[in-house]
Chain A
Amino acid sequence: GENVEQHPSTLSVQEGDSAVIKCTYSDSASNYFPWYKQELGKRPQLIIDIRSNVGEKKDQRIAVTLNKTAKHFSLHITETQPEDSAVYFCAAGVNDYKLSFGAGTTVTVRA
């Protein structure tokens, strides 16, 4: 089955700086890569997703890049704000089938 690895497990950044989280996946058939933000005790919220026919996608301060050849994808958050503090999960899946999640990254934005 699919195996998704996520790094780092924790990330502390100064407000205004950028944050980068990286994930690798094992199944070359995977073609859907969403990123979720989860606050304590809450549901995961989709913040951005990308399909394998696209190499990069951006939405305001958030961007995701995908390298299919290397089987890795990354989340980039620019101009971080305290409200960006949360746990972020990457995931990978094939079409609308089940998702495999990374272990998560706890992001802390220092004011």
Chain B
Amino acid sequence: GAVVSQHPSWVICKSGTSVKIECRSLDFQATTMFWYRQFPKQSLMLMATSNEGSKATYEQGVEKDKFLINHASLTLSTLTVTSAHPEDSSFYICSARDGGTTNYEQYFGPGTRLTVT
């Protein structure tokens, strides 16, 4: 149980285009999902916290107009990188909490590797 999927697993796009990444909780309802970015050989940096039915909370320094987050259902959150540039190339990982438990564990998706050319 507690499986989180992401799609796509990797994507290459041209500079100036937008890319959407989906994060799904497959067997539980996720009231809260988190989006992270990880550059090579670095740690996970939280970008935003996504709550179902409400606006996402962005971390300091993360442009909310560039990284659009939508959490329209209890099993799906999306991250759209708008007007992507080469410096946005990174490994994007989502995680989700099972809202039906008192467990604090975050379940991570497999990640999406974005390359902007």
Contacts and interface: CB of A to CB of B under 8 A. Distances in A.
Contacts of A102: 43
A27 B1 CA distance: 32
A65 interface: no
Interface of B is mostly: strand
A18 B77 CA distance: 40
Interface in B96-116: 97, 104-106, 108-111, 113
Given A49-B104, A95-B104, A100 B93 contact: no
Interface residues on B, range: 10 to 19
Contact of A96 (B32, B45, B46): B32
A49 B104 CA distance: 9
A104 to B, nearest CB: 5
B105 A49 contact: yes
A8 interface: no
Interface residues of A, number: 22
Given A96-B32, A96-B97, A103 B108 contact: no
A2 B110 CA distance: 26
A43 B105 contact: no
B108 A43 contact: yes
A44 B93 contact: yes
A103 B43 contact: yes
Contacts of B44: 44, 89, 101
Nearest to A34: B105
B94 to A, nearest CB: 10
Interface of A: 32, 34, 41-46, 49, 51, 89, 93, 95-104
21 contacts: A34-B106, A41-B113, A43-B93, A43-B108, A43-B111, A44-B93, A44-B108, A46-B105, A46-B106, A51-B104, A89-B43, A89-B44, A96-B97, A97-B49, A98-B46, A99-B34, A100-B46, A101-B43, A101-B45, A103-B43, A104-B42
